[in-house]
Chain A
Amino acid sequence: MKWSKQFIRFVIIFLLQILLINNLHLSGLCHPYLYIVCLLIMPITLPNWAELIIGALVGLIMDAFCNSPGVHMAACTLLMLIRPYLIGRMVADSERLTDEIDLSTMSTMSFFIYATVLIVTHHVMVFVLTNWFHGWLFTIGQIIISSAITLGLVFGYLFIKKK
């Protein structure tokens, strides 16, 4: 039941990402990736290897829609590798954390740090791999602006969910 809910949410957020966010051609610098919120708030009840595989699959699906085979897969796998360590750092009794990770299970400040680290990691991977190291300034600009907007969207999503 819990996982079917996760799956439905995954589909909805993905549709939002593909149909709406990917079409916002505000500027070349602004490419927010809200879909990783599914990975951010996933419960940590699964073994780590399963989480890694889920991350890779989610990345692959995104890749198919973005014409970038491998890029999002690499980024999401890395994100899922750091995630458990970060939760261990942020939450004192992480063993008892069996529910979703959001503002009700984590304080706003520690969730902010948790989300920022993961989003920046993901975005650095994605933009460095897509631009293949040419245009450093452009890449750095993309990372900063897109991460900030993704972070805003993630918090927006969480506040809507809370209500």
Chain B
Amino acid sequence: MQNLLQIIQKYSNFIVFILLEIAAFLLIVQNSAYPKSTVLSTCNSLVAWHYELENTIVSYFQLKEDNEQLQQENVMLRNQLVLYANERERYKESENVYRYANLQHHFIPAKVIQMNMGGMKNYMTINKGERDGIKEDMGVIGPIGIVGKVCTVSQHFSIVIPVTTSLNFGVSCRLQKNSKLGTLSWDGNDDKHAQLTEVESSVDVQPGDIILTSGLSTTFPENLPVGVVEKAYVKNGDAMWTIDVRLYTDFSKLSYVQVIDNDIANKELEQLKSEME
């Protein structure tokens, strides 16, 4: 007994060390995919408060760029509005279609208060959380293109994983001109480009083709802009295209985003599924 106590006393440092390392590795394994813990991550309100404070100061230096981005978005939306106003005139009788379509999604505005990009695992923190109706797996879009999806939510803040992440959550996309489907992934090189995979080499793909979301997953509704094909080539003996996509979203300038609340769409989908069974 005394021997045992002596041994414990002799190696007490090492035992404390081993225990602490085990705790650390448990934390790493538990949070390996994305930070699941709301305490030990940037959506901890104390940590996020810190970043928000920093952001209120830094954001003044970005005002010009932010304004330009918002202006660009306004122009895009106005153009769409003109288009839809004409369309609406034509289909006046089927007004219900529009009402139904508008109900499915609504958008929650949010501000990016912290971002770490440039590594393999990229995250950003936004200043809206559970209280504002944000839930996990909701899609996030920027002023021009898609951004990512929500992974962790606390009371007032949430963490978003961008499409340029090693987690590759696979956004379902389509080519605008021929509606051929593909999946967006990221090769880990830079955050301005992503890769469109699973497009057969028989499909006609040219640099400059526009890529939109397909709406096959409920995270993103249909026809949101994703990016432009920059380079497309077929590797030797491959049946699929390797397509480099330049994303519309410039993560270095991103400061305002919108979270897509797809609750209604999800509920309707579930209802349909249960009716099928």
Contacts and interface: CB of A to CB of B under 8 A. Distances in A.
Say whether A and B bind each other: yes
A65 B24 contact: no
A145 interface: no
A55 B23 CA distance: 13
Contact of B27 (A27, A66, A69): A69
A87 interface: no
A58 to B, nearest CB: 12
Given A25-B118, A25-B252, A64-B47, A129 B28 contact: yes
Interface in A11-31: 18-19, 22-23, 25, 27-28, 31
A163 B14 CA distance: 38
Nearest to A49: B16
Contact of A59 (B14, B24, B42, B54): B24
Nearest to A84: B13
A73 B37 contact: no
Contacts of B221: none
Interface centre among B20, B30, B47 (most CB of A within 10 A): B20
A64 B39 contact: yes
A3 B104 CA distance: 58
Contact of B13 (A48, A59, A74): A48
Interface residues of A, number: 36
B254 to A, nearest CB: 13
B231 interface: no
Task: Say what secondary structure dominates the interface of chain A.
Answer: helix
B21 A74 contact: yes
A158 interface: no
Nearest to A74: B24
A134 interface: yes
Contacts of B17: 52, 77-78, 81
B50 interface: yes
Given A64-B44, A65-B47, A67-B116, A52 B20 contact: yes
A56 interface: yes
A69 B28 contact: yes
Nearest to B120: A131
Interface string A19-51: 100110101100100000000000000001100
A115 interface: no
Contacts of B35: 67-69
A67 B24 contact: no
Contact of B28 (A48, A67, A70, A131): A70
Nearest to B34: A67
Contacts of B39: 64
B20 A64 contact: no
Contacts of A18: 50, 54
A100 interface: no
Interface string A85-102: 000000000000000000
Interface of A: 18-19, 22-23, 25, 27-28, 31, 48-49, 52-53, 55-56, 59-60, 63-71, 73-74, 77-78, 81, 129-132, 134-135
Given A69-B40, A70-B25, A132-B32, 13 more contacts: A28-B118, A48-B16, A49-B12, A67-B35, A67-B42, A67-B116, A67-B123, A70-B26, A73-B24, A74-B21, A130-B119, A131-B120, A135-B188
**4 interchain residue pairs of minimum CB distance:** A70-B27, A70-B28, A74-B24, A73-B24
11 contacts: A18-B50, A53-B20, A56-B23, A63-B27, A70-B31, A73-B24, A74-B21, A74-B25, A77-B21, A77-B24, A135-B188
